[in-house]
Structure 1
Amino acid sequence: MADPATYRPAPGTIPVEPGVYRFLDADGRVLYVGKAKNLRARLSNYFQDTAGLHPRTRQMVLSASRVTWTVVRTEVEALQLEYTWIKRFNPRFNVMYRDDKSYPMLAVSIGEEYPRLFLYRGPRRKGVRYFGPYSKAWAIRETLDLLTRVFPARTCSAGVFNRQRQLDRPCLLGYIDKCAAPCVGRVSAAEHREIVDGFVSFMAGRTGPVVRELEAEMAAAAEELDFERAARLRDDLAAVHQVMEKQAVVLPDGTDADLIAFATDELEAAVQIFHVRAGRIHGQRGWAVEKSGDAETGALAEGEADPALPRLIADFLIQFYGDAADHARVDGDGATGGVTAVPREILVQAMPADAAGVRDYLAGLRGSAVDLRVPRRGDKRELMATVARNAEEALTQHKLRRTGDLTARSQALEGIRDALGMAEAPLRIECTDISHIQGTDVVASLVVFEDGLPRKSDYRRYRIREAAGEGRSDDVGSIAEVTRRRFRRHVEDRRAVPEEDDAAFADEAPEVVEETTGARRFAYPPQLFIVDGGAPQVAAAQAVLDELGVDDVTLVGLAKRLEEIWVPGEEDPVILPRNSEAMFLMQRIRDEAHRFAIGYHRQRRSARMRASVLDDVPGLGPKRRAELVKHFGSVKRLRAADVAEIQAAPGIGPALAAAVHAALHPAAGAGPDK
């Protein structure tokens, strides 16, 4: 822990202009990013008596070793640069309203010739339109099941689509009229696109035309005494109403707005956002976060307004709608009507700090004016009260869950510290594991746990040299190689000049926009490094650490057979109680490393086996080979195809098709001369 007085800037050296500042630790990691109208006034708050600081702020200034700043011209530029740096550096002490990538979304691949409707999790991609996120995957499946009655668009994967096209018959959904079967030409690409456009329009909130059209068609069928078709249209209309009923009408004037409310205590905050489109609630999301120390608060009396609330609201608006703009650029169509678009009206519980600057920032993202205000009366105020109640309930539930989680994790980390005789509890733990089959395709994993939780953004995978080409398993040598590669990077980065990082941002203020992100640093060491294995593996890893001069990392090995913990230089292992929280956490970390290594090994082996049969075909490079296998869906289906079918694949000519067929059928391609 550093004394803030040791790195406090000299009096009068901090400018009084607006700008963005960063606190960094001894390893050069950015711990906190903030902005200020007056840098000198804001930064002076951090260098007062630490006893009077917010607990989170106190921890941050004690963990930092220096502070830097960048002067900008306006408050809007400060907001833009703050958002850019928070996204780039992922500071530990900033309030982070993270988009959970596991949220399921309903996706439409509008960039394909025959767009597909499907459930999707993960980062957004160009050429795909997204709706959601939904809280449960079954909600998406239920929505698709209901709406494909009315909009029979394709929902199958590329492999299934190509297979049915080759078989010239539709799948089950085509037979039951829940797919228009473009794979067999039942509808043209243009007609299928029209179906998908109707689905997208309906999901974007334009439900009225669909309902009116179905009602008119049903009435016309009944007049023509086509009761079978009228009954089918009645069922389609019921399905549409069933989907619409899940989105309750809350504002009768067809308002498009987002409503945002917080519930806070001394250390944490919960935020809820309701997305209202055309008067209906399209989505609801929530986060629970630790409060930053940028706005200090003491204990709050019941009913007292939290003075940190304006800062929390400002941070949320910048991060959430900054992410929304990024998503819209990826979607390519502005996500009109989607719940992540920047709406014309944003209703908040209290006006944010620097409200004028935040309003200008949001207007820049939207491209037109944004009405940012607190509702004072009527339906909107009542709905805001509902959002606030949801935030209070979310904070209560989060505290109940977190109490149990924190207690168990604290017990585990304290138990590991006591068992290994460490000075402090290991807040960062790394573990490596080796995976191979009889010495082939040897790979290793490195997983990272911080505060007892996995930090997947810091996971690493390694390809291991296969025992110097001897084709045999050498777990001890593999452990040594992984340890050397992981800590050599740490040693090299430690020798780098720390001031270079500041110089890289010296000219960023005028333009604000960051064009390059670069790789995130992975140089600071763990308190505890676990290798999967016993005394030989631990000895090999310790020899590497001694060679590199790394002496601030505790090294242990965890043997699978009896769950023994081996410490370098000790003849007998450490035995933790089988039912202790410490043993459970050690097992969980080791099992996560094993899972990650096995997954990478299977991926490498599958890729090698899939491509090896076609490696020696002249004129078939890696890209064309991958496209060929993708066209048929698998090597097995490719092997079953004749020369004419192979030639029908994109980019494959007669000579290349014959060469591929010969490679897949060596006996048949040998010819009578051989």
Structure 2
Amino acid sequence: MADPSTYRPSPGSIPDAPGVYKFRDSTQRVVYVGKAKSLRSRLNSYFADLAGLHPRTRQMVTTAASVEWTVVGTEVEALQLEYNWIKEFDPRFNVRYRDDKTYPVLAVTLHEEFPRLHVYRGARKRGVRYFGPYAHAWAIRETLDLLLRVFPARTCSAGVFRRHTQIGRPCLLGYIGKCSAPCVGRVSADEHRGIVEDFCDFLAGRTDLMMRRLEREMAQASEELEFERAARLRDDLGALRRAMEKQAVVLGDGTDADVVAFAHDELEAAVQVFHVRGGRVRGQRGWVVDKAEEMDVPALVEQFIGQFYGEQAELDPGEDGTGSPVPREVLVPELPAQPEAVEEWLSGLRGGKVRLRVPQRGDKRALADTVSRNAQEAFAQHKLRRAGDLTARSAALAELQEHLGLDSAPLRIECVDISHIAGTDVVASLVVFEDGVPRKSEYRRFALREAAEEGDVASIAEVVRRRFARYLKETAEPGEITEASESAETGDGAETGEGAEKTESAGAAGVAEAAEKARTAGAVGPEGPAPGIDPETGRPRKFAYPPNLLVVDGAGPQATAAADVLAELGITDVAVVGLAKRLEEVWLPDDPDPVILPRTSDALYLLQRVRDEAHRFAIRYHREKRSKRLQVSALDGVPGLGQARRTALIKHFGSVKKLKQATVDEISGVPGVGRRTAQAVHAALAGESTTTREGETGA
């Protein structure tokens, strides 16, 4: 693992110009390629504090051992060079939007003398034209079966084609009219290619000309009393109409466009693309990829367009006759930072003008919303697929048991995370996973006081001490509260988490009734309640269950601090690990080397999910506390306004923002706030000084 400071270039040596850069590891293999409008600004951002970098960016800069760059003249040149380098070096930390090989497509082998139509899954090849992808292979075969009566092109494999050429007899499709039988010379190579080109034109959206031509031929055959030919043409028209009905019209103006949408979080992004040709949805593609660095939607748009269309333009001859799969319009949720450069690059790929824009209203906006919903649904399904799979959860727990050397699978996992900004408003979260699934009613959050100024290690120790002191207290026999738990319990202040059940205050009759129910259920015996059982409700107390595994957000020092607290409290049956964000290493207490779990293991995925959930819950609580503190601080120093009145004002108006919009009369209407105080509050929030009129008294 390299230290980024060992290979950081001198800031003055990096040009302040557009360019493309490469990070290389110790073996000189390229691990990441990127482009920037300003190389100096972008490269300096990689060498900031590691703790503030995106997880994959942290891993990349610590894997790399050197960085180099190439200055270019324009953003278009940067886009092209970035794509070429990604294709050439295939860097491990770059996202590649390769075709999803799980979706079938309809392939037309135009590079062969007698082109073939067939269902295909796999990487794109030169000289082959593709239509789709389709949701199911049967959808392609059904469409193909309808169209073969109108476009009787070859569908057999090369081996079958050679065999029937040798025996001089066509296959069954040739006898029933669904193949023009080029294998036995019924049509020449040029005639067969003409049939295939008509088939491609129809699927590419040029349907009106084809339909009108068949209608004219049918009318002409009818006038010439060739009723059998007219009936055959009528059936051909019916087959084409049925094939068209399978592709719904979404844009009535016959637009050729790709509609792109994203759904993403800090670590991953899902992208969905609808290919619209001739106003009809001809195909749909979707990916879920890891984010290489912190990226917003404009950056995702630029990255996707650069990689997807660059690769498709090389491998796919196109669906619109321009020699490129790039359509006339690309509809995106937000424009990239340099839309003109991206448009110019796309136009070069297409060989014609390409518009990149955000749909604002009408049918295109409605279609963009549909694609966005598909992206969000695909992202949610991706997140739930592994978390909701019982087999995967069981495998993850078994892997954790094996890698950490536990006596049994950790069916209950708790995770602690600390959140603050420069040591202010220090809070902590405690999340609970049971059987690999979050149990939100058991979440807890802590406002830290004692260890807030001593750093994250001391804060972790305080949270662990308070949580397990409560555990000892709630599971102890009556009168057996230990000295350690009693001292640690003082001023616990843990708050319930999301979805926690709220127990309302009940009268004496309600308490007696609950106690009787508890005794009936066996929770309370004749000598009193069982340890860990609330005598009033008969339910387990909130801290009565210990975890099998305690995860702390951090490395060795944090894990050791948590283990020391458990040893101090006399708890020996709870395993402790630390999960470091830097390289996703698992640290055991007092162990100099981390446990490295495979990057693709379900065990590591579960630990990451637990840690990320604790991080989310801690940040949410920190933002709430900071918001409340800032609201109250805006009213500090107002004459005659104490804590009780400040609280009453915030509670009455809901926020300082709404309080600023209130008049003096509305403020003085709050119980306990007189007119003089209301004027002082109004003046303080408005930033104006006012003078109280003589003789005016407060209410």
Which TM-score band (shorter chain)? 0.5 to 0.7
Aligned residue pairs total 408
Equivalent residues in 2 for 1:387-402 (5 A)?
387-402=371-386
Letter in 1 for 2:356: L
Q: Letter of the 1:23 partner, please give it.
A: F
Distance, in Å, in 2 between the alignment partners of 1:248 and 1:402 is 33
- Alignment partner, residue 373 of structure 1: 357
Contact between 2:131 and 2:282, CA under 8 Å: does it hold in 1?
A: no
Alignment partner, residue 130 of structure 1:
130
Q: Residue 178 of structure 1 corresponds to which residue in structure 2?
A: 178
Cα contact 1:93–1:292 (8 A) shared by 2: yes
Amino acid at match of 2:309: Y
1:314, 1:352 within 8 Å by CA — same for their partners in 2?
Answer: yes
Closer/same/farther in 2, CA of residues 417 and 22 from structure 1, 3 Å limit = farther
Which residue of 331, 345, 355 corresponds with 1:361?
345
Aligned to 1:75: 75
Q: 1:324 aligns with which of 303, 312, 316?
A: 312
| Distance change >3 Å, CA 113–CA 30, structure 1 → 2 | closer
1:274 aligns with 274
Identify if the C-alpha distance between structure 1 residues 63 and 257 changes in structure 2 by more than 3 Å, giving closer, same or farther: same
> Does the C-alpha gap of structure 1 residues 380 and 412 become closer, same or farther in structure 2, counting only changes over 3 Å?
same
Kept in 1, the 8 Å contact 2:323–2:350? The answer is: no
Residues 285-364 of structure 1 mapped to structure 2, 5 A cutoff: 285-295=285-295, 308-328=296-316, 331=317, 334-336=318-320, 341-364=325-348
Residue 147 of structure 2 corresponds to which residue in structure 1?
A: 147
Whole-angstrom CA distance in 2 between matches of 1:271 and 1:371: 20
Task: Give the equivalent residue in structure 2 for 1:255.
Answer: 255
- TM-score computed with the length of structure 1 as normaliser: 0.56
Tell me what 2:2 maps to.
Answer: 2
Larger radius of gyration: 2
How far did 1:216 drift? Answer: 3.7
Change in CA separation of 1:340 and 1:393 when aligned onto 2, cut-off 3 Å: farther
Q: Distance in 2 between the 1:239 and 1:272 partners?
A: 31
Q: Give the AA of the match of 2:387.
A: T
Distance apart, 1:136 and its partner CA: 2.5
Q: 1:291 is matched by which residue type in structure 2?
A: K
Listed one character per residue, the Cα deviations across residues 342-392 of structure 1 (whole Å, up to 9, x for unaligned) are: 112111110012222212221221223221111122211111111111111
Q: What is the 5 A alignment of 1:120-519?
A: 120-220=120-220, 228-295=228-295, 308-328=296-316, 331=317, 334-336=318-320, 341-403=325-387, 414=400, 417=403
User: How far apart, in 2, do the equivalents of 1:172 and 1:124 lie?
Assistant: 30
Query: 2: CA distance between counterparts of 1:312 and 1:13?
Result: 29
Q: CA deviation at 1:143?
A: 1.8
Q: Cα 1:59–1:205, aligned 2, differ >3 Å: closer, same or farther? A: same
Q: Tell me, what secondary structure is at the counterpart of 2:13?
A: coil
Distance 1:32 1:188, change over 3 A: closer
Q: Is the 8 A contact 1:22 1:33 kept in 2?
A: yes
Match of 1:200, SS state, is: helix
Which deviates more from structure 2 when the two are superposed, residues 121-130 or residues 83-92? 121-130
Partner of 2:40: 40
Shift of 1:413: 5.8
Determine the C-alpha separation between the residues in 1 that align with 2:215 and 2:341: 48
Contact 1:110 1:127 in 2 (8 A): yes
8 Å contact kept, 1:146–1:240: yes
Q: Is the 8 A contact 2:100 2:286 kept in 1?
A: no
Alpha-carbon distance in 2 for matches of 1:336, 1:416: 55
Q: Distance in 1 between matches of 2:321 and 2:352?
A: 16
CA–CA separation in structure 2 for the residues paired with 1:196 and 1:323: 25
CA RMSD of aligned residues (A): 2.8
Q: Which amino acid aligns with 2:3?
A: D
Asked if the contact 2:131–2:283 (Cα under 8 Å) also holds between the matched residues in 1, the reply is no
> Equivalents in 1 of 2:28, 2:396: separation in Å?
27
SS of 1:282's equivalent? strand
SS in 2 for 1:269: strand
SS at match of 2:353: coil
Task: State how far apart, in whole Å, the 2-side matches of 1:169 and 1:403 are.
Answer: 56
Letter in structure 2 aligned against 1:211: M
**Corresponding letter in the other structure for 2:372:** A
For 1:535-584, what per-residue CA distance to the aligned partner results, in whole angstroms no more than 9, with x for missing partners? xxxxxxxxxxxxxxxxxxxxxxxxxxxxxxxxxxxxxxxxxxxxx999xx
2: distance between equivalents of 1:141 and 1:339? 26
Secondary structure of 2:11's aligned partner: coil
Mark the CA change 1:191 to 1:12 in structure 2 (over 3 Å): closer, same or farther: closer
Give the secondary-structure state (helix, strand or coil) at the position aligned to 2:12.
coil
Contact 2:105 2:132 in 1 (8 A): yes
SS state of the match for residue 271, structure 2?
strand
- Tell me the CA shift for residue 410 of structure 1: 5.2
Counterpart CA distance in 2 for 1:581 and 1:376 is 42
The answer to whether the Cα contact below 8 Å between 2:23 and 2:67 also exists between their aligned partners in 1 is: yes
Deviations 1:424-446 (A, max 9, x none): xxxxxxxxxxxxxxxxxxxxxxx
Aligned residues of 2:21 and 2:67 also touching (Cα < 8 A): yes
Residues in 2 aligned to 1:402 and 1:356: alpha-carbon distance in whole angstroms: 40
Shift of 1:73: 2.1
Deviation at 1:229, TM superposition (A): 4.6
Deviations 1:452-504 (A, max 9, x none): xxxxxxxxxxxxxxxxxxxxxxxxxxxxxxxxxxxxxxxxxxxxxxxxxxxxx
Q: Secondary structure at the match of 1:191?
A: helix
Query: Which shows bigger deviation, 92-101 or 334-343?
Result: 334-343
| Secondary structure in 2 matching 1:272 | strand
Distance across 1 between alignment mates of 2:348 and 2:165? 47
Q: Does the 8 Å contact 1:412/1:581 carry over to 2?
A: no
Query: CA–CA distance in 2 between the matches of 1:6 and 1:317?
Result: 34
- Structure 1 unmatched runs, 5+: 296-307, 421-579, 583-674
Alpha-carbon distance change, 127 to 70 in structure 1, aligned in 2, over 3 angstroms: closer
